[in-house]
Amino acid sequence: MILAYGVANLLQSAAAARTTVHHTFDPGLLVRLAGQRTYLLGIGCQAFGFILAFLARRDLPLFLVQASVAAGLGVTALLGVLVLKWSLPTAEIFLLTLLLAGITALVMAAEPAHSRRLGTIVVVLLAASVLVIGIAGVFAVRLHGALGSVVLGSLAGIDFSAAAIAARPLANEHSAAGFFTNPLLYLLVIHSLVGQLLLGLAMQRGSTTAAVAAMDAAGAVPAAIVGLLLLGDRIHEGRGWLAAVGFVITLAAVIGLTRYAEPQHHHATAPTRRPDPTTPLRTAATGR
Protein backbone atom coordinates (compact mmCIF):
# COMPACT_ATOMS: atom_id res chain seq x y z
CA MET A 1 0.00 0.00 0.00
CA ILE A 2 2.77 2.42 0.93
CA LEU A 3 4.63 1.75 -2.33
CA ALA A 4 1.44 2.03 -4.42
CA TYR A 5 0.48 5.38 -2.89
CA GLY A 6 4.03 6.71 -3.29
CA VAL A 7 4.06 5.93 -7.03
CA ALA A 8 0.52 7.33 -7.40
CA ASN A 9 1.55 10.64 -5.79
CA LEU A 10 4.44 11.04 -8.20
CA LEU A 11 2.48 10.21 -11.36
CA GLN A 12 -0.50 12.38 -10.45
CA SER A 13 1.81 15.25 -9.60
CA ALA A 14 3.47 15.07 -13.02
CA ALA A 15 0.05 15.05 -14.72
CA ALA A 16 -1.24 17.97 -12.65
CA ALA A 17 1.83 20.00 -13.59
CA ARG A 18 1.06 19.56 -17.30
CA THR A 19 -2.52 20.79 -16.94
CA THR A 20 -3.49 24.47 -17.03
CA VAL A 21 -3.98 25.74 -13.47
CA HIS A 22 -7.65 25.81 -12.40
CA HIS A 23 -8.81 28.78 -10.33
CA THR A 24 -12.28 27.43 -9.56
CA PHE A 25 -13.58 24.37 -7.73
CA ASP A 26 -14.30 22.69 -11.06
CA PRO A 27 -14.78 18.90 -11.30
CA GLY A 28 -13.81 19.30 -14.96
CA LEU A 29 -10.19 19.22 -13.79
CA LEU A 30 -10.55 15.47 -13.17
CA VAL A 31 -11.89 15.03 -16.70
CA ARG A 32 -8.95 16.92 -18.20
CA LEU A 33 -6.46 15.02 -16.07
CA ALA A 34 -8.07 11.74 -17.13
CA GLY A 35 -7.02 12.54 -20.69
CA GLN A 36 -3.38 11.98 -19.69
CA ARG A 37 -1.91 8.50 -19.59
CA THR A 38 0.37 9.49 -16.70
CA TYR A 39 -2.60 10.48 -14.55
CA LEU A 40 -4.50 7.30 -15.41
CA LEU A 41 -1.47 5.23 -14.40
CA GLY A 42 -1.37 7.20 -11.15
CA ILE A 43 -5.07 6.55 -10.56
CA GLY A 44 -4.45 2.86 -11.22
CA CYS A 45 -1.70 2.79 -8.57
CA GLN A 46 -3.90 4.73 -6.18
CA ALA A 47 -6.81 2.35 -6.75
CA PHE A 48 -4.53 -0.60 -6.00
CA GLY A 49 -3.28 1.12 -2.84
CA PHE A 50 -6.87 1.96 -1.91
CA ILE A 51 -7.91 -1.70 -2.17
CA LEU A 52 -4.98 -2.79 -0.03
CA ALA A 53 -5.76 -0.07 2.53
CA PHE A 54 -9.42 -1.10 2.56
CA LEU A 55 -8.46 -4.70 3.28
CA ALA A 56 -6.00 -3.59 5.95
CA ARG A 57 -8.72 -1.58 7.73
CA ARG A 58 -10.72 -4.76 8.24
CA ASP A 59 -8.41 -5.76 11.10
CA LEU A 60 -5.92 -2.94 11.71
CA PRO A 61 -6.61 0.28 13.67
CA LEU A 62 -6.98 3.48 11.69
CA PHE A 63 -4.07 5.18 13.46
CA LEU A 64 -1.75 2.60 11.89
CA VAL A 65 -3.30 2.46 8.41
CA GLN A 66 -3.60 6.24 8.01
CA ALA A 67 -0.07 6.81 9.25
CA SER A 68 1.14 4.16 6.81
CA VAL A 69 -0.62 6.00 3.98
CA ALA A 70 1.44 9.04 4.99
CA ALA A 71 4.60 6.99 4.56
CA GLY A 72 3.86 6.95 0.83
CA LEU A 73 5.21 10.51 0.84
CA GLY A 74 8.67 9.08 1.54
CA VAL A 75 8.39 6.80 -1.49
CA THR A 76 7.31 9.80 -3.59
CA ALA A 77 10.34 11.81 -2.50
CA LEU A 78 12.77 8.96 -3.18
CA LEU A 79 11.27 8.25 -6.60
CA GLY A 80 11.45 11.96 -7.40
CA VAL A 81 15.18 11.87 -6.69
CA LEU A 82 15.79 8.72 -8.72
CA VAL A 83 13.46 9.39 -11.67
CA LEU A 84 12.98 13.16 -11.91
CA LYS A 85 16.36 14.19 -10.44
CA TRP A 86 14.86 16.18 -7.58
CA SER A 87 17.34 17.30 -4.93
CA LEU A 88 16.89 15.84 -1.43
CA PRO A 89 18.10 18.24 1.30
CA THR A 90 19.68 16.82 4.45
CA ALA A 91 16.65 17.99 6.45
CA GLU A 92 14.31 15.88 4.32
CA ILE A 93 16.56 12.81 4.71
CA PHE A 94 16.34 13.26 8.49
CA LEU A 95 12.54 13.69 8.35
CA LEU A 96 12.12 10.61 6.15
CA THR A 97 14.13 8.63 8.70
CA LEU A 98 11.82 9.89 11.45
CA LEU A 99 8.84 8.90 9.33
CA LEU A 100 10.12 5.33 9.07
CA ALA A 101 10.78 5.20 12.83
CA GLY A 102 7.28 6.46 13.60
CA ILE A 103 5.61 3.89 11.36
CA THR A 104 7.72 1.12 12.92
CA ALA A 105 6.58 2.16 16.41
CA LEU A 106 2.93 2.14 15.32
CA VAL A 107 3.25 -1.33 13.83
CA MET A 108 4.66 -2.61 17.12
CA ALA A 109 1.87 -0.94 19.15
CA ALA A 110 -1.21 -1.80 17.06
CA GLU A 111 -3.41 -4.75 18.02
CA PRO A 112 -5.57 -6.23 15.22
CA ALA A 113 -9.34 -6.22 15.88
CA HIS A 114 -12.59 -6.02 13.91
CA SER A 115 -14.40 -2.70 13.82
CA ARG A 116 -17.56 -1.73 15.68
CA ARG A 117 -20.52 -0.37 13.71
CA LEU A 118 -21.00 3.38 13.37
CA GLY A 119 -24.11 4.97 14.87
CA THR A 120 -26.67 6.80 12.74
CA ILE A 121 -25.57 10.22 14.04
CA VAL A 122 -21.99 9.62 12.96
CA VAL A 123 -23.12 8.48 9.51
CA VAL A 124 -25.21 11.67 9.15
CA LEU A 125 -22.21 13.78 10.21
CA LEU A 126 -20.05 12.04 7.61
CA ALA A 127 -22.66 12.91 4.97
CA ALA A 128 -22.87 16.55 6.09
CA SER A 129 -19.09 16.92 6.07
CA VAL A 130 -19.08 16.46 2.28
CA LEU A 131 -20.98 19.73 1.89
CA VAL A 132 -18.83 21.56 4.45
CA ILE A 133 -15.57 20.48 2.79
CA GLY A 134 -16.95 21.34 -0.66
CA ILE A 135 -17.84 24.89 0.44
CA ALA A 136 -14.40 25.30 2.02
CA GLY A 137 -12.84 24.11 -1.25
CA VAL A 138 -14.68 26.79 -3.24
CA PHE A 139 -12.90 29.47 -1.19
CA ALA A 140 -9.56 27.66 -0.80
CA VAL A 141 -9.14 27.26 -4.57
CA ARG A 142 -8.52 31.02 -4.78
CA LEU A 143 -5.23 30.60 -2.91
CA HIS A 144 -1.99 30.20 -4.86
CA GLY A 145 1.55 28.93 -4.32
CA ALA A 146 2.62 26.97 -1.25
CA LEU A 147 -0.31 28.26 0.84
CA GLY A 148 -2.78 26.98 -1.74
CA SER A 149 -1.01 23.61 -1.83
CA VAL A 150 -1.15 23.22 1.95
CA VAL A 151 -4.76 24.41 2.44
CA LEU A 152 -6.20 22.38 -0.44
CA GLY A 153 -4.07 19.39 0.54
CA SER A 154 -5.38 19.64 4.11
CA LEU A 155 -8.99 19.67 2.90
CA ALA A 156 -8.23 16.63 0.73
CA GLY A 157 -6.81 14.91 3.81
CA ILE A 158 -9.96 15.56 5.83
CA ASP A 159 -12.00 14.10 2.97
CA PHE A 160 -9.83 10.99 2.76
CA SER A 161 -9.99 10.71 6.55
CA ALA A 162 -13.79 10.64 6.38
CA ALA A 163 -13.52 7.98 3.67
CA ALA A 164 -11.23 5.92 5.93
CA ILE A 165 -13.70 6.18 8.83
CA ALA A 166 -16.46 4.91 6.54
CA ALA A 167 -14.24 2.13 5.18
CA ARG A 168 -13.28 0.57 8.54
CA PRO A 169 -16.74 -0.80 9.50
CA LEU A 170 -17.68 -1.30 5.83
CA ALA A 171 -14.74 -3.69 5.40
CA ASN A 172 -16.32 -5.95 8.03
CA GLU A 173 -19.56 -6.48 6.09
CA HIS A 174 -19.92 -10.24 5.51
CA SER A 175 -22.49 -10.27 2.71
CA ALA A 176 -22.69 -8.66 -0.73
CA ALA A 177 -26.21 -7.37 0.01
CA GLY A 178 -25.05 -5.74 3.23
CA PHE A 179 -22.05 -4.24 1.48
CA PHE A 180 -23.91 -2.62 -1.43
CA THR A 181 -26.86 -1.39 0.62
CA ASN A 182 -24.67 0.15 3.31
CA PRO A 183 -24.71 3.99 3.03
CA LEU A 184 -21.07 4.01 4.12
CA LEU A 185 -20.12 2.62 0.70
CA TYR A 186 -21.53 5.65 -1.08
CA LEU A 187 -20.09 8.08 1.45
CA LEU A 188 -16.73 6.40 0.90
CA VAL A 189 -16.99 6.93 -2.88
CA ILE A 190 -18.18 10.57 -2.63
CA HIS A 191 -15.53 11.57 -0.08
CA SER A 192 -12.83 9.89 -2.17
CA LEU A 193 -13.87 11.71 -5.36
CA VAL A 194 -14.02 15.14 -3.67
CA GLY A 195 -10.68 14.43 -1.99
CA GLN A 196 -9.17 13.46 -5.34
CA LEU A 197 -10.32 16.76 -6.89
CA LEU A 198 -8.91 18.76 -3.98
CA LEU A 199 -5.60 16.90 -4.18
CA GLY A 200 -5.34 17.58 -7.92
CA LEU A 201 -5.93 21.31 -7.31
CA ALA A 202 -3.35 21.28 -4.50
CA MET A 203 -0.69 19.64 -6.66
CA GLN A 204 -1.16 22.29 -9.35
CA ARG A 205 -0.18 25.08 -7.01
CA GLY A 206 3.46 24.29 -6.29
CA SER A 207 4.99 21.63 -4.09
CA THR A 208 3.86 18.04 -4.42
CA THR A 209 5.54 17.23 -1.11
CA ALA A 210 3.73 20.08 0.66
CA ALA A 211 0.36 19.11 -0.81
CA VAL A 212 0.68 15.42 0.06
CA ALA A 213 2.23 16.06 3.48
CA ALA A 214 -0.58 18.47 4.40
CA MET A 215 -3.11 15.92 3.17
CA ASP A 216 -1.59 13.13 5.27
CA ALA A 217 -1.22 15.27 8.39
CA ALA A 218 -4.81 16.55 8.23
CA GLY A 219 -6.16 13.09 7.46
CA ALA A 220 -4.39 11.09 10.13
CA VAL A 221 -5.62 12.77 13.32
CA PRO A 222 -9.44 12.68 12.82
CA ALA A 223 -9.37 9.05 11.70
CA ALA A 224 -7.15 8.02 14.62
CA ILE A 225 -9.40 9.73 17.19
CA VAL A 226 -12.64 8.34 15.74
CA GLY A 227 -11.09 4.89 15.44
CA LEU A 228 -10.04 4.78 19.08
CA LEU A 229 -13.26 6.31 20.45
CA LEU A 230 -15.95 4.81 18.24
CA LEU A 231 -14.63 1.93 16.13
CA GLY A 232 -12.93 -0.23 18.74
CA ASP A 233 -9.33 0.29 17.56
CA ARG A 234 -6.92 -1.35 20.00
CA ILE A 235 -3.38 -0.89 21.28
CA HIS A 236 -1.36 -3.74 22.81
CA GLU A 237 -1.43 -3.60 26.58
CA GLY A 238 1.44 -1.56 27.95
CA ARG A 239 2.30 -0.07 24.55
CA GLY A 240 0.10 3.00 24.64
CA TRP A 241 3.17 5.18 25.06
CA LEU A 242 4.75 3.58 21.98
CA ALA A 243 1.65 4.27 19.90
CA ALA A 244 1.56 7.89 21.09
CA VAL A 245 5.25 8.45 20.40
CA GLY A 246 5.05 6.76 17.00
CA PHE A 247 2.00 8.78 15.97
CA VAL A 248 3.53 12.09 17.09
CA ILE A 249 6.84 11.31 15.36
CA THR A 250 5.05 10.35 12.16
CA LEU A 251 2.93 13.50 12.12
CA ALA A 252 5.91 15.70 13.03
CA ALA A 253 7.92 14.23 10.16
CA VAL A 254 5.08 14.68 7.67
CA ILE A 255 4.37 18.26 8.79
CA GLY A 256 8.11 18.98 8.79
CA LEU A 257 8.32 17.93 5.16
CA THR A 258 5.93 20.78 4.29
CA ARG A 259 8.44 23.23 5.79
CA TYR A 260 11.38 22.05 3.68
CA ALA A 261 9.48 21.26 0.50
CA GLU A 262 10.19 23.42 -2.53
CA PRO A 263 8.02 23.57 -5.66
CA GLN A 264 8.85 20.80 -8.10
CA HIS A 265 6.61 22.11 -10.87
CA HIS A 266 6.18 25.55 -12.36
CA HIS A 267 3.27 26.53 -14.55
CA ALA A 268 3.47 28.92 -17.45
CA THR A 269 0.23 30.58 -16.38
CA ALA A 270 0.48 33.57 -14.08
CA PRO A 271 -1.43 33.07 -10.82
CA THR A 272 -3.22 36.40 -11.11
CA ARG A 273 -4.78 35.64 -14.48
CA ARG A 274 -7.54 33.21 -15.33
CA PRO A 275 -6.56 30.74 -18.05
CA ASP A 276 -8.30 30.88 -21.39
CA PRO A 277 -10.50 27.75 -21.58
CA THR A 278 -9.61 27.41 -25.25
CA THR A 279 -5.90 27.23 -24.55
CA PRO A 280 -4.46 23.74 -25.10
CA LEU A 281 -2.73 21.84 -22.32
CA ARG A 282 0.77 23.06 -21.66
CA THR A 283 3.78 21.11 -20.53
CA ALA A 284 5.45 22.65 -17.49
CA ALA A 285 9.16 22.62 -16.77
CA THR A 286 10.20 20.34 -13.95
CA GLY A 287 12.93 21.26 -11.51
CA ARG A 288 13.77 21.34 -7.86
Each residue of 122-166: pLDDT tens digit? Answer: 999 999 999 999 999 999 988 887 788 889 999 999 999 999 999
What does pTM read for this prediction? 0.77
Q: Give yes or no for residue 112 having a pLDDT over 70.
A: yes
**Exposure letters 11-36 (e unless 16+ CB within 10 A, then b):** bbbbbbbbbbbbbebeeebeebbeeb
* Confidence class for position 263, pLDDT limits 50, 70, 90: very low
User: What is the rounded average pLDDT of the residues 76-80?
Assistant: 79
Q: Which residue has the higher pLDDT, 257 or 91?
A: 91
Whether residue 224 contacts residue 62, with contact meaning beta carbons closer than 8 Å, is answered with: yes
User: What is the rounded average pLDDT of the residues 71-99?
Assistant: 80
Q: Where does residue 114 fall: left (phi above 0), alpha (psi -120 to 50 degrees), or beta otherwise? A: beta
Give the bridge partners for 286, in sequence order: 265
Q: 234 by DSSP, 3-state: which?
A: strand
Query: What sign for the dihedral angle of Cα 23, 201, 161, 222?
Result: negative
User: What is the chain's mean pLDDT, rounded?
Assistant: 81
Q: Give yes or no for residue 266 having a pLDDT over 80.
A: no
**Exposure letters 214-245 (e unless 16+ CB within 10 A, then b):** bbbbbbbbbbbebbbebbebbbeeebeebbeb
- The separation between CA 278 and the C-alpha centre of its own chain, rounded to angstroms, equals 31
Each residue of 32-44: pLDDT tens digit? Answer: 766 778 888 888 9
Give the bridge partners for 265, in sequence order: 286
User: Residue 22: its pLDDT value, please?
Assistant: 52
Say what angle helices 183-204 and 145-170 make with each other, to 10 degrees. 160
Give strand ranges (E) for 163-284.
234-235, 265-266
User: Residue 277: its pLDDT value, please?
Assistant: 40
- Specify the amino acid at residue 257: L
